[in-house]
Amino acid sequence: MNIHDVDMAVKAKRRRRRIGRGPGSGSGKTSGRGHKGQRSRSGASFRATFEGGQMPLVRRVPKRGFNNRWGLTVYSINVGQLDALFSDGDEVNVETLREKNRAKGRFDVLKILGDGELTKKLKVSAHRFSNSASEKIAKAGGEAVVVAGKPSAAATRDAAAEVEK
């Protein structure tokens, strides 16, 4: 037996505090609640964020800008990066990008952008393509396949406008 084993056993069998059992216990009479006030009463409860009437932190912190809760999270990658990652004749999609540790985390839409040069013939499947990216893919002899995904806010707005007409 080692001394650290004994220490663990003592901590594991700690007795609960016996509250309100006389002055000798150290937590008798007011049972560790102090005198008067809301916290001394039975049934007292507060919000987790309550700060005793002080201006709460969530209201003290300055808030600036616009946060679109409904906006889509777009992961974008350039054709130059695809050229470096993949070999000639490969298929590029979300799964293959995740295998190569490029498309990490959570996102709604994959967009291919046109920065850089593409020298390899690739079949690229993505939700969106920039005009320059689709031109460069076609010029290299590849194929740009648009995959159905969540519609953009602009597409939804345009569809709603057409229904109204």
- Report d(CA 36, CA 130) in Å as an integer: 68
- The whole-number pLDDT of residue 8 equals 62
pLDDT at residue 145 in the model: 95
Q: CA torsion sign, 102 to 107 to 110 to 114?
A: negative
Domain spans, the chain: 74-150
- 74: three-class secondary structure by DSSP: strand
Tell if the pTM clears 0.75, that is, is over it.
Answer: no
Write a three-state SS string for 136-161. Answer: HHHHCCCEEEECCCCCCHHHHHHHHH
**pLDDT confidence of residue 165:** 72
The rounded distance, in Å, linking the Cα atoms of 39 and 52 is 11
**Blockwise average pLDDT, block size 10, the chain, 165 residues:** 66 81 92 92 90 92 89 93 93 94 92 94 94 95 90 74 79
The CATH number of the domain covering residues in 74-150: 3.100.10.10
CA distance linking residue 77 with residue 87, whole number of Å: 16
Give the pLDDT confidence score for residue 155 in this predicted structure: 72
Between vectors from CA 21 to CA 16 and to CA 23, what angle results, nearest 5°? 115
Q: Are 114 and 135 in contact (CB under 8 A)?
A: yes
